[in-house]
Chain A
Amino acid sequence: DSGVTQTPKHLITATGQRVTLRCSPRSGDLSVYWYQQSLDQGLQFLIQYYNGEERAKGNILERFSAQQFPDLHSELNLSSLELGDSALYFCASSFPHGSGETQYFGPGTRLLVL
């Protein structure tokens, strides 16, 4: 158990819908990262938040957005869902100790868009 929690574990929805994925980082960690794992794209970085503020953006679609709240939990919002958004979405967290800190991953949310 990494200490990172994600809810829900599984999500089945229809095209055009909107969903919210939730992540709670390890106690004390200030950074939260979101990654998408799909069959065709592999593991891709989406976005990072640090202590409530957006720090870096990767290959995140405009239909997707995220935020980190004062209690440091984070939510990833996916809207106007398409079949291709079906994937495993991971949240990871880390504690800043200067450079190259290790990221610990949650169990993931498996999204299926029908």
Chain B
Amino acid sequence: AQTVTQSQPEMSVQEAETVTLSCTYDTSENNYYLFWYKQPPSRQMILVIRQEAYKQQNATENRFSVNFQKAAKSFSLKISDSQLGDTAMYFCAFMKPPSGSRLTFGEGTQLTVNP
């Protein structure tokens, strides 16, 4: 079974600075997908970014980017120019195809952006 580990239960960053959240996973699969979701105080689960394992290029969405190291089974999220609205719980998630497959989540990292 796949496992996802987020070793940082809590992190904080000053507004406008950059922060990196860590995620490692364990799988014997070669083809899979990785996601970061954020859960703000409203508890809504919001997709931040997605990465296909077969793509070497790291995914980027505006201020959010990932560092995907397939051999090391590492998938970190970098948030640049942090904003107060980035304060949330961040979950790393793994999905193994075939089409329409469950997400396996890590324990989450609570990120606080300080003014």
Contacts and interface: CB of A to CB of B under 8 A. Distances in A.
Interface of A: 2, 31, 33, 35, 42-45, 48, 50, 55-56, 58, 88, 90, 92, 94, 96-105, 107-108, 110
Contact of A48 (B33, B45, B102, B108): B102
Given A43-B91, A100-B52, A102-B50, A107 B44 contact: yes
Given A88-B43, A108-B43, A98 B105 contact: no
Of listed A56, A88, A100, A107, residue having the most chain B CB within 10 A: A100
Given A99-B99, A104-B47, 13 more contacts: A2-B44, A2-B46, A33-B103, A43-B105, A45-B103, A56-B102, A58-B102, A88-B43, A100-B32, A100-B95, A101-B100, A102-B47, A108-B44
A43 B50 CA distance: 18
Interface of B: 31-33, 35, 37, 42-47, 50, 52, 91, 95, 97-105, 107-108
A2 B97 CA distance: 23
A99 B99 CA distance: 4
5 contacts: A45-B103, A56-B102, A94-B100, A99-B99, A108-B45
